[in-house]
Amino acid sequence: MKDLLLPTSDVTDLEAGEWLNLSGIIYTARDQAHQRMLQDGVPFSLKGQAIYYAGPCPAKPTKISGPIGPTTSSRMDPFTPFLLKEGLKVMLGKGQRNQAVKEAIKVYKAVYLVTAGGAGTYIASKVKEIQVVAYPDLGSEAVHKLIIKDLPVLVAIDIKGNSIFQN
C-alpha cells in the first residue's frame, strides 16, 4: 500500500483501484458548506487541497473527534467542477460520481478517493487534530481542518478518468 501525504504529494501517478494510506491535512465539507462556497466564494485556498465529504459528530471528552463517516459523494456533484477549477486536487467520500465530475477530474487533474461507509468510529481514530475553519454556524457541517494519519483509502477515479465503477 502506497503512502499519500496531503497536500504535498503528487496525485498524477495514482491509478484507479490502488489502495493508499492517507495522511496529512484534509478539509471536511458537506452540502451546505459547498453551497456557501459556490455562492460566496471559497474562504480558504483550495490549491492542492483535499475535501472529505463528511461532518464529524461531537467528540467524547477523551476523544479528538466523534465518528466521521463519509457522506454520499454524488450529493456534491453540482458543486465539484467549480471547486476543482479553484484548485481542489483530492476528494474523499463514498459512491459514484456523475459524468460532469469525471470530466472535470480529467481536466483539472484531480483524483477521487473512497473510504468505507459505516466506519465512522474507525475513521475518527485516524484523526490527530481537528478545528473549525469556516461556517461555524453550520455545526457538524462546518468546514473542519483535519490532520489524519494512515487512513486506508481506495483510488476510485484517477486523473485519466479511469474508474473502479466502470463495467
Q: What percent of the chain has pLDDT over 90?
A: 95
* Residues 1-29: tens digit of each pLDDT: 899 999 989 999 999 999 999 999 999 99
Residue 164: inside a domain, yes or no? Answer: no
Residue 165: inside a domain, yes or no? Answer: no
> Residue 167 pLDDT more than 70?
no
Residue 135: inside a domain, yes or no? Answer: yes
Contacts of residues 132-141 at CB distance under 8 Å and 24 or more positions apart, as own/partner, are 133/27, 133/43, 133/44, 134/33, 134/43, 134/44, 135/32, 135/33, 135/36, 135/43, 138/32, 138/33, 139/55, 140/55, 140/56, 140/57, 140/58, 141/30, 141/31, 141/32, 141/33, 141/55
- How many domains is the chain built from? 1
> Residue 61 pLDDT more than 70?
yes
* Residues 115-162: tens digit of each pLDDT: 988 899 999 999 999 999 999 999 999 999 999 999 999 999 999 999
> Residue 53 pLDDT more than 70?
yes
Please state the rounded mean pLDDT for residues 99-112. Answer: 98
* This prediction's pTM: 0.96
Residue 167: inside a domain, yes or no? Answer: no
How many angstroms separate the first and last alpha carbons of the chain?
Answer: 24
Supply the residues annotated as catalytic: 34
> Residue 82 pLDDT more than 90?
yes
In one-letter notation, the amino acid at residue 122 is Y
CATH number of the domain where residue 36 is located: 3.20.130.10
Residue 166: inside a domain, yes or no? Answer: no
Neighbours of 63 (CB within 10 A): 15
* Domain span holding position 41: 2-157
